[in-house]
Amino acid sequence: MKRRDFAIGAPFVIAAATLGSGSVLAQPKVIRMVESGGKSGESIEVAYIKPFTAKTGVRVSREAPNPLGKLRAMVGSGNVSAALFELGSPSLAQAKALGLLDKLDWAAIDPLPIFPEARDDYGMGFQYFSTVMAWRADAKAPATWADFFDVDRFPGKRALPDYPHYLLQFALIGDGVSADKVFPLDVDRAFRKLETVKKSVSVWWKAGTQPPQLLKDNEVRYAISWSTRIVDEPTLRFTYDQGMYDISWLTVPKGVEPAEKALAMKLLHEVTVPENQVRATEIIKLSGNSVDLERLVGAEKFATFPTATKNKASQFRQDAEWWRINGEAVNKRWETFKLAL
C-alpha cells in the first residue's frame, strides 16, 4: 500500500573479504536497501545513492515494496540482509515497539541542518507528503472539509481513499472537530460522517495515481489525494489548508552487520544534503528534510511543497502512535463498513 509500492527485486551481494592495513575485513562492496519503489525509488537512486557511491565506491541494491511484514520476517529469522529499510510513520511506531530496529548513529551521520521532527533515535524522516482535498477547476471550490463533505452545496461524485488512516481525520474535521484536536480520533463519529456521503462516493481508491486521473476524466468532481499528484495538473486544484502532512522514514533493521550499518550512516548523510534533495524534487514532488531547500529551489517552487512555512502551518500531522495502538481495530471496523457499500 503506502503511497507507492512495486517490486523490482534484487539479490543481495555479500562483499568479498579483503585484507587491509590494521584491519581484517574491508568494507562491503554492496549494501541493500528496501524502499517503496516507483518515482520515490528513482529519486533515491539519483539524488542520494549516486553521490554516496561516487564517494565510497559502494553500490546500493534497491528492492521494493517495503511492507512491515518483510522487516519482521527479516529480523525474526536472523537473516538481516538490508542495511536500510523505508517505513511510513505508523510502521515506524510499530517497528520501534516490536524491537525491530537498531538505533541510528547520528554522530556518524553528521547531518546538515534538518527539521527537528525528522530526527528520531530509530529513523530519519526523509520525505514529506500531504493528504489534501482536491477538485476540478470547473467545480465549485471547497474551502474547508465541512464544504467537501457537504454533498448538497457541493454536488458531484467523490473519490476517497480505501485507507482509514488517510480518511477518518478529514471526516471528523468535516463534522466540526478542530484539526488540532482531531487526535485521539472519535472513530464512531467519523464513521457516522462517512455514512452521510457514501452514496456520493463512486471510487474508493487504492493507488495514488487514481484521484488525479478520475478528476481529469470528470468521473469525479472532488477527491482526497496526495498533493504531489495534483500540484502540476493545470485542470485541477487543491489546498494545503486543513491538510495532513506525514513523513516517510529510513531505518536500520536490528541485527545488521556493523560494517553495513556504518555505510548506511554515510548514505543517510547524503540524504540530508540540500543540493541532493533538489535533485530528488526534480523526479518526485516530495520535499526533503533540509531547512535550506527553499534557498536552493526558489520561493515560487518551494511554495508548492508541504514543508513551505505557510503550508506546514496550515496542516496537522499524522499521529503515528495513535494508529499503532488503534490501527488493527479501526481496520476491522473499516472492512465492516465497506461490506455495506
Neighbours of 234 (CB within 10 A): 7
Give the chain's domains with CATH numbers: 30-128+246-313 (3.40.190.10), 129-245+318-339 (3.40.190.10)
Q: Which of 245, 289, 252, 332 is nearest to 47 (CA)?
A: 289
Q: Using one digit for the tens of pLDDT, what is the confidence trace for 130-155?
A: 999 999 999 999 999 999 999 999 99
pTM value is: 0.88
Q: Using one digit for the tens of pLDDT, what is the confidence trace for 214-226?
A: 999 999 999 999 9
pLDDT digit of tens for each residue in the chain (341 aa)? 444 433 333 333 333 333 343 344 578 999 999 999 999 999 999 999 999 999 999 999 999 999 999 999 999 999 999 999 999 999 999 999 999 999 999 999 999 999 999 999 999 999 999 999 999 999 999 999 999 999 999 999 999 999 999 999 999 999 999 999 999 999 999 999 999 999 999 999 999 999 999 999 999 999 999 999 999 999 999 999 999 999 999 999 999 999 999 999 999 999 999 999 999 999 998 999 999 999 999 999 999 999 999 999 999 999 999 999 999 999 999 999 999 88
Distance CA 240, CA 170 (A): 13
Q: Which of 336, 334, 318, 69 is nearest to 206 (CA)?
A: 334
Distance CA 37, CA 33 (A): 11
Distance CA 56, CA 266 (A): 9
**Which residues lie across from 239 on neighbouring strands?**
133
Q: How many CA atoms lie within 13 A of 25 on its CB side?
A: 11
Q: What is the pLDDT of residue 25?
A: 57
Q: Kindly give the pairing relationship between strand 316-317 and strand 236-253.
A: parallel
Distance CA 118, CA 131 (A): 18
Q: Using one digit for the tens of pLDDT, what is the confidence trace for 38-69?
A: 999 999 999 999 999 999 999 999 999 999 99
Neighbours of 335 (CB within 10 A): 10
Distance CA 264, CA 246 (A): 23
Neighbours of 136 (CB within 10 A): 20
Q: Which of 262, 256, 259 is nearest to 25 (CA)?
A: 259
